[in-house]
Amino acid sequence: MTNDIENPYKAPDSNLLPENDSLLKRKKGYIIFEPETTWPNRCYKCNAPTDHKKEVKLSYCTPWIALLIFIHIFIMIIVYLFVKKTFRIELPICDKHLKRRQYVITAQVITFLMIMGSIAIAVTINQGFTFVAIALVLFLLMITIAFGRFGHLAKFKNDELWFRGAGKTFLDSLPDYTP
């Protein structure tokens, strides 16, 4: 009995090596792939072997939609919700990077609650703090979006997704993209 029959879930050893026949391609900081492509069993941040995959939902929408903000922000949001395409991607991630992300989110939630708490106190004392309060919350929201997410889709072109957010070692292990 071979090892593969004993453990059908065992990752092929070739996954530990750089794959030149990889279905994922790389161009600068982007990973280009078709939406159904299965990612290799290597952490997309540090390239360490991993069996863990994190399902993430990423949306893409043409940036031209942003021009609708000149008409009205709510029209932009409504059109965005109708036009955006959402993809389910199983990102391979090692324990270290999964934990690191959880720490970041926890720290953000605690900071957020502390700011909200001190703002609530400040506002009851002085109404002038309301503007500072809103600015602080928006600032924190932007930081959360920038650091809390797994990555984002920069493009969807010719049935191929352009993903940004992978680590350099993982990117370096991928073959170059040739359109």
Residue ranges in contact with Zn ion by CB under 5 A = 43, 45-46, 94, 97
DSSP code at position 64: G
**CB of 50 vs Zn ion, minimal distance in Å:** 7
Q: Which residues contact 2 (CB under 8 A, 6 or more apart)?
A: none
CB-CB contact of 162 with 156 (8 Å): yes
* Shortest distance, position 165 Cβ to Zn ion, whole Å: 13
* 84 vs 99 by CB, closer to Zn ion: 99
Reported as half-sphere exposure (CB side, CA atoms, 13 A), residue 166 has a value of 29
Residue 54: CB minimum distance to Zn ion, A: 11
For Zn ion, which is the closer residue by CB, 26 or 45? Answer: 45
Shortest Å distance, C-beta 156 to Zn ion:
26
**How far apart, in Å, are the Cα atoms of 73 and each of 78, 127, 132, 178?**
9, 27, 23, 38
**Segments of the chain assigned E as strands:** 25-27, 30-33, 53-60, 85-92, 152-157, 160-164
Q: In angstroms, what is the minimal distance from the CB of 100 to Zn ion?
A: 8
CB 52 within 8 A of CB 98: yes
Closest C-alpha among 70, 74, 90, 104 to residue 24: 90
Contact (Cβ atoms closer than 8 angstroms) between residue 7 and residue 147: no
Q: Which residue is nearest to Zn ion (CB)?
A: 43
CB of 43: closest distance to Zn ion in angstroms? 3
